Amino acid sequence: VVAKVNQSADENTADDANPNDLDAAPIGKLGAWESSGIIDASDVFGPGAFLVDVQAGSLVLDEEVRGTLTYQRDGGQLGLLRIPGA
């Protein structure tokens, strides 16, 4: 394993690390975050550098209701991952 997603920002306990999380996702949603890609960024950041993204689908930051539809803006990150020797 080179990298793991830490979903602790959405654990939904009494001492939630992210008070801006609007939904009440149960702990059962842990593991629902995902990465949808990785890009070799070594040309810009040097050998072993990759850009990775994390889609935090259970971390709801904003909701807007339009008619019968609810639109949610979810959390996510773009990160720089360095793997020595890669």
Q: Which amino acid is at 78?
A: L
What mean pLDDT comes out for the span 57-81?
78
81 vs 2, more confident: 81
Cα–Cα distance measured from residue 50 to residue 39, given in angstroms and rounded to the nearest whole number: 5
Domain boundaries, the chain: 8-82
Global pTM value: 0.59
d(CA 63, CA 22): 8
Mean local confidence (pLDDT), 41-53: 96
What is the mean pLDDT of the segment spanning 34-50? 93
* CA–CA distance, 79 with 54 (Å, rounded to integer): 8
